[in-house]
Copies of this chain bind each other. A is one copy, B any other.
Amino acid sequence: MRYPNGKIYRASPTQGAAAKARATRFGKRGMRLEEMLNASNEWYRLKQQAVIHKKPTPIQVVGVDYPARSKARITEAYYRQSSTTDYNGVYQGHYLDFEAKQTKQKTRFPLSNFHAHQIEHMAACVKQGGICFAIILFSLHDEAYLYPFEALIEDWEAFSRGGSASIPYERIKSQQLPIAFGVAPQLDYLKAVDRYIHLLNKNKGSERCE
């Protein structure tokens, strides 16, 4: 089996229950959510299930050297804050756009993990018919959840009016959009997206066709 880039796909050495335990330990050892999502997205692309990429980190380049006979070498640059979310792409005709965050908190997820422009970006995408959400990993619980934009914007607006600066863990869990850990994909978040789209359509009380 080959990735579209021609690299040979190397299956994980373990399967089944052992693999699940391994995936769980990865979570416990603090394997970064970003790495899990990048591997999942690569899997989804390989299986032609979705085309979703992490956007490159925006970098402000200040100085560049052009050494003879070698490629441009950036000598001074700075990380910039992204004006959008980290991930977007297309899945079965849907535009997906999401931010992924992990926390060591057990009972709550601090809203300070989001920036105002990310919320505004997601609101603008939803208005265009996009599917927006956060993926939240509670590393000490070893649990990941899809958290719908509709819930997030409620929390955000309540916070702007002086409300809680955190989303309670129980509220995130109560959306009933857990994300399963696995080997390939490591985080099978598209299953949660399916359920989320199903809920959105049910709430609209009509087909999604415009």
* Chain A residues at the B interface, C-beta cutoff of 8 Å: 4-5, 45, 48, 50-51, 53, 55-59, 61, 71-79, 82-84, 88-95, 97, 117, 120-121, 124-125, 127-130, 207-210
**A129 touching B93 by the CB < 8 A rule?**
yes
Q: How many identical chains are in the complex?
A: 2
Contact yes or no, B129 A90, CB < 8 A: yes
Given known A45-B124, A59-B56, contact A72–B83 (CB-CB < 8 A):
no
Contacts of A207 in B (CB 8 A): 209
A55 contacts which chain B residues (CB < 8 A)? Answer: 55-56
Give the docked Cα–Cα distance between A136 and B50 (Å): 27
> What are 8 A-B contacts with C-beta separation under 8 Å?
A4-B117, A4-B124, A50-B128, A73-B76, A74-B76, A88-B89, A92-B129, A92-B210
List of B residues within 8 angstroms of A117 by Cβ: 4-5
- Interface pair B93/A128, CB less than 8 Å apart: yes
CA distance A55 to B117 in the complex (A): 16
Q: Known contacts A51-B128, A58-B56, A128-B91; decide if A74 and B83 are in contact (CB<8 Å).
A: no
Q: Which residues of B contact A51 (CB under 8 A)?
A: 121, 124-125, 128, 130
Q: Give the complex CA separation of A72 and B76 in angstroms.
A: 10
Cα–Cα distance between A109 and B65 once the two chains are bound (Å): 31
Q: Is the CB of A128 within 8 A of B90?
A: yes
Chain B residue, CB-CB nearest to A50: B128
User: 6 tightest A-B contacts by CB?
Assistant: A209-B209, A93-B129, A90-B95, A56-B58, A74-B77, A90-B130
Do A90 and B209 have beta carbons less than 8 Å apart?
A: no
A62 CB to closest chain B CB, in angstroms?
9
Complex Cα–Cα for A97 and B51 (A): 11
